[in-house]
Amino acid sequence: MPRTAFAGTGFYVPDRVVKNDELTQYMDTSDEWIIERTGIQERRWVTDGMTSAEMACRASKMAISAAGIEPGEIDAIVLGTLSPDVFFPGTGVFLQRDLGLEGIPALDVRAQCSGFVYGLSVADAWIKSGQYRTILLVGVEIHSTGIDVSTRGRDLAVLFGDGAGAAVLTATDEQDRGVLSTHIHADGNHAEMLWTEAAGSKNHPRISAEDIAAGRHYPRMEGREVFKHAVKRMPEVVMEALEANDLTTNDIDLLIPHQANLRISQMVQRRLGLEDDQVVNNIQRYGNTTAATIPIALAEAVRDERLERGDLLCLVAFGSGLTWGSALVRW
Ligand code: UT7
């Protein structure tokens, strides 16, 4: 059976840097509060004209170039996002068009912050089954056009940023490298703990003036509750992956956690007994880019030569849904 190898990675973030101090012009917050509670110092916001498909395309081209393949070699696109450019169709088809890959399937994954790990699970199964040999896996998000930057929305508005990350996955017959396993979960009992209620097809009409007045078109979160679930589920699903492969935390060379809050990542690190240099954190510079955090962090880790052939890489995600998941990769 073939295995799934990471052949190339890439990322793109918008040029516009939004520092914490800028946010104090729009809402009652402070640089100190944001850094102390989240670790975030700045994030990127798109400027008018930039779309999530365009960001995904830039990240993808970098990943394709790093993989040393031609775009035409890609058999399928899997794209995670909670912020598609339009309600439908998904962003994957716009990316497919921009890359000139007419005909190949483009699957959007709706698993929020777990979108990249969920997408990896699907792509890995397709590659192992022999259905496809080369898959472009992308996570992309534009939050800045959909957050409440008034004081009412400050708990969420300070967290989120825009960006895209991509990876080219290829089938390999080498049995000593590639994805070892993926583990994905969900608990819809807490679906409303972090959600955007409108526009939605359950509403008649999908969005009303009343929805807008009440801010139901903005994401809402029970932050403390989400936090508690995150610090429980992330270590748990890492342990599940390790146990499935007869490995222990001592075997992990690099952990890339979803970048939701630096305090969450630090608690996950402590619970797993990992050192600082074994964990990738870039939330300080990008905030939470949801489905894009893991592929952006992975692309930066590759660029910074933090992974060597044979290393054990662990990806772990948690987010709205609730959804969570992990993957172990022999680099
Ligand atoms: O990626 C998907 C998963 N997302 C997450 O995992 C996020 C999980 N949650 C969190 O990261 C944290 O809960 C937050 C960063 C959202 C909030 O931090 P917290 O330490 O849990 O603060 P809190 O919600 O308990 O609020 C404490 C205080 C409140 O004021 P009072 O009621 O104590 O007077 C908030 O109104 O901080 C206030 N507050 C703020 N103050 C300044 C909330 N947001 C802000 C803000 N600036 N931006």
Same domain, 185 and 297: yes
Same domain, 105 and 91: yes
Same domain, 14 and 80: yes
| CATH at 271 | 3.40.47.10
DSSP 122-177: HHHHHHHHTS-SEEEEEEEE--GGGS--SGGGHHHHTTB--EEEEEEEEEE--TTS
Residue 242 phi/psi, 5-degree rounding, is: -65, -45
Same domain, 216 and 265: yes
Res 303: pLDDT: 98
Cis peptide before 166 (omega within 30 of 0): no
288 touches ligand 1 (CB under 6 Å): yes
What is the reported pTM? 0.98
Cis peptide before 14 (omega within 30 of 0): no
Task: Name the closest-CA residue to atom 10, ligand 1.
Answer: 223
Q: Tell which one of 155, 156, 160, 225 to mutate to probe ligand 1, the residue whose CB is within 8 A of the most ligand atoms.
A: 155
Same domain, 166 and 182: no
Helix (H, G, I), strand (E, B) or coil at 288: strand
Task: Name the closest-CA residue to atom 2, ligand 1.
Answer: 319
Ligand 1 centroid–CA 29 distance in Å is 11
| CB of 164 closer than 8 Å to CB of 310 | no
Give the H/E segment covering residue 267: helix 262-272
241 touches ligand 1 (CB under 6 Å): no
Same domain, 247 and 166: no
Last residue of a domain, one of 172, 189, 211: 172
Last residue of a domain, one of 172, 196, 212: 172
**Please, what's the b/e burial string for 44-66 (b: 16 or more CB within 10 A of its CB; e: otherwise)?**
bbbeeebbbbbbbbbbbbbbbeb
- Please give the positions annotated as active site: 113, 258, 288
**Please, what's the b/e burial string for 295-322 (b: 16 or more CB within 10 A of its CB; e: otherwise)?**
bbbbbbbbeeebbeeeebbbbbbbbbbb
170 touches ligand 1 (CB under 6 Å): no
Same domain, 254 and 137: no
Structural domain boundaries, residue 289: 178-330
Res 201: pLDDT: 96
pLDDT tens-digit series, residues 188-205:
999 999 999 999 999 999
Residue 271: which residues within 8 A CB-CB, separation 6 or more?
231, 235
The list of the chain residues with pLDDT below 50 reads none
- Residue 242: how many other CB atoms lie within 10 Å: 22
The total number of structural domains in the chain stands at: 2
DSSP lists the bridge partners of residue 166 as 10, 138
Same domain, 277 and 128: no
The single-letter code of the amino acid at 305 is E
pLDDT tens-digit series, residues 213-238:
999 999 999 999 999 999 999 999 99
Res 153: pLDDT: 97
319 touches ligand 1 (CB under 6 Å): yes
Give the H/E segment covering residue 323: strand 323-330
Same domain, 10 and 120: yes
Same domain, 188 and 130: no
Same domain, 226 and 264: yes
Please identify, by atom number, the ligand 1 atom nearest to the C-alpha of residue 290. 1
Task: Name the closest-CA residue to atom 39, ligand 1.
Answer: 155
Last residue of a domain, one of 172, 204, 223: 172
Residue 133 phi/psi, 5-degree rounding, is: -105, -25
Q: Tell which one of 19, 37, 113 to mutate to probe ligand 1, the residue whose CB is within 8 A of the most ligand atoms.
A: 37
Res 108: pLDDT: 98
Give the H/E segment covering residue 298: helix 293-303
Same domain, 101 and 183: no
CA–CA distance, 3 with 311 (Å, rounded to integer): 16
